[in-house]
Structure 1
Amino acid sequence: MNILLPPAGLLFWVCFCVTLAVLGAASWRAAWSQLLALPTRQHALFAAILGLAIFWLMQAHVQDTMAFHVMLMTVTTMVFGWGLAILIGAAALVVLKIFQISLYGTSVGLVTTLSQIHPSTIPVDFCLSVVVPVGWTCCVIWCVNHWKFKNPFTYFLGVGFFGAIASCVLTDISAYLLFAVTSDEIYFDVIKEHFFSFLLLAFPEGFINGTIATALTVFWPDLVKTYRDDWFLKEK
């Protein structure tokens, strides 16, 4: 989910403060040692930033005010963990803005204009499209890891598929509450009117995240930081 118009004062400052706090915590908690120790993981990190930005370019605009897209933050969290997933999401938003300015900034007659790719939208986009799904995915991973039933499919399906579907729904609800609390009537009216339309992305979100997570866990399990091979595959 991305907003296309510069946010009002209260909405911006609330999201800006949350963004600074979360980025500070993520920088402190990120697994830098594991990242630097494995060149393959470094390549995967840069590929994730670029891939997310490209995926997010494929947006559906609503009333020239908001844009909906597949987030893919669930599988990003499964591969990199909470800290790096937060930083990857933030970097992907910056790259997305650069792409949008390069592609649409000088174009005429397109929905996207310079005012709609204003940098002030980044904190709001970050809170809704990164912080919420990443935080929810970590909660689902914790629940799956503490479930007594030992089977890799609880990880693939429980986190990658159903966890991603739930993250899409939770993002929608979070946006509704955020715009209501900050009294931003423009975005609140849009999210209220198209609340259930956004839910149509839930299944594609779950399918794409689940498919990528399954493929990575099967073929490159060493890259998936949150996958506990010693737990899911050990004998009961």
Structure 2
Amino acid sequence: MSISVGLLSGYWFWLSLLIYLPVLGYALYRVPWSILKSNRRLQHFFLGATVFLMVMWSMRAGISPGLGIHFLGVTALTLIFGWDLAIVAGTGALLGMILIGREGWDSLPINAVCSVLLPSMVTLLVLKVVEAKLTKNFFVYLFLCGFFGAGLSAAASGLATGTVLWLDGVYTWAKINHEYIQYLPLIMFPEGLMNGIIMTGILVFHPDWVRTFDARRYIDEQ
């Protein structure tokens, strides 16, 4: 879900920048810099996740410009590091994409909103609903937040991308639906599977690495 350089009018650049900059600023304010600075293992884990995200986003498939499909991985990032570090990592990955020539500066804000901010917020919403409404259970957390949350995030990102391209008159809705929207259900399952597998591996071997997972609540108290 990535919008290519030069597709949208300048209006979308400034609107998305107006949305994203305050969120990024708040995320940077919330990041526990002292912990990140003192914990070398966390630094390596965070930087490695950012680079992995950049590499994953550089591999995409699609027919028309702006209708490319790729794995997001933002759900796992949000659950592991928290939404603030996920926003920072996603922004870093987009900047890396620009440096290697896969994206341009004019597409950065809208891609940040559609591919980083929106899926991260959807993941956070699913997490909050699960914590507030459902039993504190390891498998509930894993399947709903990891698998289902990732699929829902991919759908939200894809719908947002397609809607922006349609509203700006880049493509007709029929073309967007034919080349992109109708494939979203097929994208949701592998996105959920990939994020779920990542979360399963980390939760089994290193549950203390997952910032949004409290083993005392989800395991010890059962």
1:173 deviates by 2.6
What TM-score does the superposition give when structure 1 sets the normalisation length?
0.86
- Residue in 1 that maps onto 2:90: 89
Q: Counterparts of 1:1-236 in structure 2 under 5 Å?
A: 1-6=1-6, 7-100=8-101, 117-179=103-165, 183-187=167-171, 189=173, 190-193=175-178, 194-236=180-222
- Worse-superposed segment, 28-37 or 217-226: 28-37
User: C-alpha distance in 2, partners of 1:148/1:15?
Assistant: 34
User: C-alpha distance in 2, partners of 1:93/1:5?
Assistant: 13
| Structure 2: stretches of 5+ with no match in the other structure | none
- Worse-superposed segment, 35-44 or 213-222: 35-44
User: C-alpha distance in 1, partners of 2:9/2:20?
Assistant: 16
Let me know the Cα RMSD of the aligned residues: 1.8
User: C-alpha distance in 2, partners of 1:66/1:176?
Assistant: 8
The 1:11–1:150 alpha-carbon spacing in structure 2 relative to 1, beyond 3 Å, is same
| Structure 1: stretches of 5+ with no match in the other structure | 102-116
The 1:156–1:28 alpha-carbon spacing in structure 2 relative to 1, beyond 3 Å, is same
Whichever residue aligns with residue 219 of structure 1, its letter is F
1:174 deviates by 2.4
User: C-alpha distance in 2, partners of 1:233/1:200?
Assistant: 33
Which SS does the other structure have where 1:204 is aligned? helix
1:192 deviates by 3.8
Kept in 1, the 8 Å contact 2:67–2:162? The answer is no
1:99 deviates by 2.6
- Number of residue pairs matched? 219
User: C-alpha distance in 2, partners of 1:47/1:188?
Assistant: 39
Identity across matched positions, percent: 32
1:39 deviates by 1.6
